[in-house]
Structures are given as structure tokens and as C-alpha cells.
Amino acid sequence: MATDLLLTVGKGQGMFEVAHAFKMKDKLLEELVLEKFEIEREYYKRYMRKNVLPYYYFLKEARTC
């Protein structure tokens, strides 16, 4: 999967998940990366049966803490 971080968030009486994926900017147009994003989106839609909000971040350069 392409997700690097999956958060479960409570809002009102419901819960939903937010999927975060971080990729390098130069990988953005690679066909394999785009296919992985699409496969993951479809997986969440079909099998999680929950609201999953995907967020994709494209990093200009790698940084460490």
C-alpha cells in the first residue's frame, strides 16, 4: 500500500480515517506510483466500508528529524 500514516479521527458521533501518503516530488508522474494510489483508493472504498479521506503529499527533498 502507499499509505504511510492512517489516523482514526472522531467527529461528533462518528469516526472516520484519514490516510496520508508521502512521496518524493520526482516520483509523482511514475506510472507505478499512480497505479498504487488508485489501487489503494479502490481498496479503501470497497473493503474498509468506512469513510477514508486520502491525502497525498509530495516532498521536494527528503528531510530527517
Are 2 and 30 in contact by the 8 Å Cβ rule? The answer is no
* Residue 49 pLDDT > 70: no
The single residue listed with the C-alpha cell 527533498 is 61
Are 51 and 12 in contact by the 8 Å Cβ rule? The answer is no
**pLDDT, greater one: 20 or 63:** 20
* Residue 35 pLDDT > 80: yes
Neighbours of 24 (CB within 10 A): 13
Mean pLDDT across the chain, nearest whole number? Answer: 76
Mean pLDDT of 21-35: 80
Annotated domain spans of the chain = 1-11+27-65
At 5, the pLDDT band (50, 70, 90 cuts) reads confident
